[in-house]
Structure 1
Amino acid sequence: MIAQADLDALDPQVFARYLNHAGWTEREPGLPASVWELDAEGEQFELLLPLDRSFRDFRARLWDALRTVAIAEQRDPEAVLRDIAATTVDSQHFHLLPDFPTGKIPLVDGSAALYGVRLLMTAAAEWAFRRLNASGGPGQRANGFVRSVQLVAPTPGSFVITTQIPVINEIPRQFLAARTPLEQSSINRNIVLQLHRAVSATHRAAGESLRTGDIAPFVERAGQGVTADLCEAVTAIGRRQPFELRFSWAQSLPVNVQSPRLRFDRQVLRAIRDAAPQLPGHDAEQDVRLVAKVVQLDRVDQGFGRVSLLVESSDGGIPSRARLTANLPPDLYNVAVDGHRTSARLVLTGRLRGDHLSLVESMTLLSG
């Protein structure tokens, strides 16, 4: 239940910015109230946003507007109010749609979706850091960014994975090349904007691909961050169920971006899944053979896992002490676990793209 004090603290102008970002259209602006409309997949919504606090029914009309937004977004009014009032974080809401009772999801399905969310954050961050000419390697910077992402408890009556990304007000100069044109914004905000841009472009490409029957719409949007990594992350989230994605933005750092809800149904997810293997990654792939140690393990779903490697030597020109990542199937992940437990070196062969092993063909413990 929303406290009266929380409702009284809600600024109608902040509410209006939220509506604009969420895809609502202001039809009748002006005092003492404005009329807003939303077309959500053929369903029409309309609300009256009160602007003059001196009116006797101001609080009741504000509550009605808040409740209408909650119905349109299929969320509780309390969750909507938290997003509107958020001042320091950008939020992403992944509404999972499993064939399961409301508010529940099988453990395996939920963990697979969470892993996909992590991959999605990593893919967007690596792309952004490449464009920012980040020092220290985009992979390392991306891992640091992912560690800053916060997971919010699901709200009652739904299964929504909500992630929040703190807005940092300064951009350290050493992260950027002098020629990089950026607005006065944070590194984290630029990554979230890239995430929104790339996911929206992927969604549009999937719709066009379903109509044309080829992957050209994906290839044409490569410059917006539509890559194999990002497509694989999206399909990982929807591997077991459709989902919807919605963005909301920190009110302390307003952004002129409309963010309507994106629905990834089974047809859209199939188009993205089919396109992913045919898309280029961030960098050209190369065959490699290297000797490395496992420095970090992260088991995810059904024995699959992600590892971080510290390179000692290679046949492919990879510098010593470079850090690489790899996603491994259960048999190879078990080898990585043994190597980490015994501090043994591993010999790996596979294909390298950037600082990620997109394919590991073999992994053996190096004796001696």
Structure 2
Amino acid sequence: MIAISEAEFSRVKDLATTSLLRYLRGRGWSPSRNYGRGQLWELPVTGDSGEPYEVLVPLDRTPRDYADRVADLVETLSVVEARSPADVLREMSLPSADWQFLRLTPPGPAGTVPLTEVVPALAGLKDLMTSAAAAEASPEPQPVQPAQKPQLVKDHVATVRLDQTRVGSYVVAVHTPLPELPSQGYLFDDDTRSEPFARRVSRRLYAALVCAREAAETSLRDDAVADFAPYVPGGLSANLCEALVRIGGDEGPGFSLDFTWSSDLPMERPTERIRLARPQLTALDAGAKDLRARLGNRDMTLRGSVVRLHRELPHGPGAVTVAGSFEDRDRGRLRRVRMTLDQHEYSKAAEAHRRGDEVLVQGDLTVLGSAPRLENVRSFVVRRVSE
């Protein structure tokens, strides 16, 4: 057993009993017997019919030997988990959080990964968190998410923390802190359980990964690109598929994702490991392209200026050309986009052309080539130069 250092011992006395219990619950321990100011907790031995692991947890911080009892607990856990006491103590000190573990399996020595693989994997992991948060923040999940994300999504992704790597090939650990919860760990509103946004995002991410795996397996089974659209309500999107492909790299063998949920907000049922091998990632890449081709051009927002007007009669609908760029794609590439507007909107376009005002047009992009068009125009907004 590795003894706890003096520097670490000076920190254990500051650990609250709630932190000790949260850590144990989150790793599968459960209470078995009470001993006055202490409680015995057990952990079943996986794949073994022998006696479970046991630890004695101090429940009262007032005795002088509280720090000694916590130090004993930390040292025992470090043996059970094959980790250093410092790592165990550090995680005990963290606030309540949901964890995800990305397990990469690159060739080479265990515990290492080529730099050229881990950098895009981390970028893909950020995109994965962003797509899950965007799906949860949207009134209705979208097959292709807009490039501009709400501030709520940006704020959430900023809270996600990258932790130390774990033993087992190359495991990237990330966690999302949860806000402080009532002592019972639940919130009720009109008899309906509510959860903080951070937990809802983690749930959405897990559901989307299950959908992605099922959609990919359907494609492989049918030997054709499956229709991914039915999985969109679960959180699947072209963005999420592209993030998964990016994590896997160009020729990587695949990866897996595990979820550990904060014991302060227990899940109704356990969640399984999500594995995605190279064939599944190839199928997800094709599915993402299909989603973008079929559904990615809806509700596009064009920002620009009116450069051409034409109609056959003095009144009624007319053809308008706007020179501008789409906010959600092509990195601001300038295009001339044609559209047909009704009499009211055409009059607004004519006035914007006369004054040189900027316009914002929302509709469905039907042709993305030399002659792009916006159909089903739902919004035509004029922004005066003086605004």
Instruction: Quickly name the TM-score band, shorter chain normalised.
Output: 0.5 to 0.7
Match of 1:33 among 40, 43, 48: 40
2: distance between equivalents of 1:37 and 1:147? Answer: 35
8 Å CA contact 2:217–2:280 kept in 1: the answer is no
Give the 3-state SS of the residue equivalent to 2:108 in structure 1.
Answer: coil
1: distance between equivalents of 2:45 and 2:276? Answer: 21
Tell me what 2:335 maps to.
347
8 Å CA contact 1:95–1:161 kept in 2: the answer is yes
Tell me what 2:310 maps to.
none
Give the 3-state SS of the residue equivalent to 2:44 in structure 1.
Answer: strand
1: distance between equivalents of 2:195 and 2:273? Answer: 25
Matched, 1:312 2:304: yes
Matched, 1:111 2:99: no
Give structure 2 stretches of 5+ with no counterpart. 182-188, 307-318, 338-361, 372-387
8 Å CA contact 1:290–1:348 kept in 2: the answer is no
Taking a change above 3 Å as real, the CA distance of residues 260 and 193 of structure 1, as seen in their structure-2 partners, is closer
Aligned-residue offset at 1:124: 0.4
Taking a change above 3 Å as real, the CA distance of residues 87 and 146 of structure 1, as seen in their structure-2 partners, is closer
Taking a change above 3 Å as real, the CA distance of residues 191 and 346 of structure 1, as seen in their structure-2 partners, is same
Give structure 1 stretches of 5+ with no counterpart. 171-178, 293-310, 327-335, 340-344, 364-368
1: distance between equivalents of 2:201 and 2:92? Answer: 21
2: distance between equivalents of 1:316 and 1:65? Answer: 70
Larger-gyration structure (1/2): 2
Give me the TM-score of the superposition, normalised by structure 2: 0.56
Aligned-residue offset at 1:109: 0.6
Aligned-residue offset at 1:128: 0.2
Tell me what 1:51 maps to.
57
Taking a change above 3 Å as real, the CA distance of residues 4 and 236 of structure 1, as seen in their structure-2 partners, is same
User: How far does the alpha carbon of each residue in 1:232-251 deviate from its partner, in whole angstroms, 9 at most, with x for none?
Assistant: 32232123254343344567
Give me the TM-score of the superposition, normalised by structure 1: 0.58
Taking a change above 3 Å as real, the CA distance of residues 287 and 202 of structure 1, as seen in their structure-2 partners, is closer
Aligned-residue identity in percent: 19
Aligned-residue offset at 1:113: 0.2
2: distance between equivalents of 1:235 and 1:208? Answer: 15
Give the 3-state SS of the residue equivalent to 1:271 in structure 2.
Answer: helix
1: distance between equivalents of 2:261 and 2:243? Answer: 22
Tell me what 1:121 maps to.
129
Taking a change above 3 Å as real, the CA distance of residues 199 and 125 of structure 1, as seen in their structure-2 partners, is same
Aligned Cα RMSD in Å? Answer: 5.4
Tell me what 2:342 maps to.
none
Alignment of structure 1 residues 68-107 onto 2, 5 Å: 68=80, 70-71=81-82, 78-87=86-95, 89-107=97-115
Alignment of structure 1 residues 174-323 onto 2, 5 Å: 183-200=193-210, 202=212, 205=214, 222-239=232-249, 240-249=252-261, 254-256=265-267, 262=273, 264=275, 266=277, 269-275=278-284, 277-278=286-287, 285=295, 287=297, 311-312=303-304, 323=327
1: distance between equivalents of 2:335 and 2:174? Answer: 37
User: How far does the alpha carbon of each residue in 1:59-83 deviate from its partner, in whole angstroms, 9 at most, with x for none?
Assistant: 4355223432x34xxx655444433
8 Å CA contact 1:52–1:58 kept in 2: the answer is yes
8 Å CA contact 2:216–2:284 kept in 1: the answer is no
Taking a change above 3 Å as real, the CA distance of residues 98 and 80 of structure 1, as seen in their structure-2 partners, is farther
Q: Structure 2: which amino acid aligns with 1:254?
A: L
2: distance between equivalents of 1:260 and 1:120? Answer: 18
Taking a change above 3 Å as real, the CA distance of residues 260 and 192 of structure 1, as seen in their structure-2 partners, is closer
8 Å CA contact 1:91–1:162 kept in 2: the answer is yes
Tell me what 2:344 maps to.
none
Tell me what 1:301 maps to.
none
Give the 3-state SS of the residue equivalent to 1:101 in structure 2.
Answer: coil
8 Å CA contact 1:227–1:276 kept in 2: the answer is no
2: distance between equivalents of 1:255 and 1:317? Answer: 55
Aligned-residue offset at 1:129: 1.0
8 Å CA contact 2:101–2:172 kept in 1: the answer is yes
Taking a change above 3 Å as real, the CA distance of residues 208 and 77 of structure 1, as seen in their structure-2 partners, is farther
2: distance between equivalents of 1:155 and 1:323? Answer: 37
8 Å CA contact 2:163–2:175 kept in 1: the answer is no
Aligned-residue offset at 1:127: 0.9
Match of 1:165 among 163, 176, 182: 176
When the two structures are aligned, how many residues end up with a matched partner? 301
Matched, 1:324 2:328: yes
Aligned-residue offset at 1:107: 2.0
Matched, 1:63 2:80: no
Aligned-residue offset at 1:99: 1.4
User: How far does the alpha carbon of each residue in 1:33-89 deviate from its partner, in whole angstroms, 9 at most, with x for none?
Assistant: 1322365xx799953232346898774355223432x34xxx655444433432155
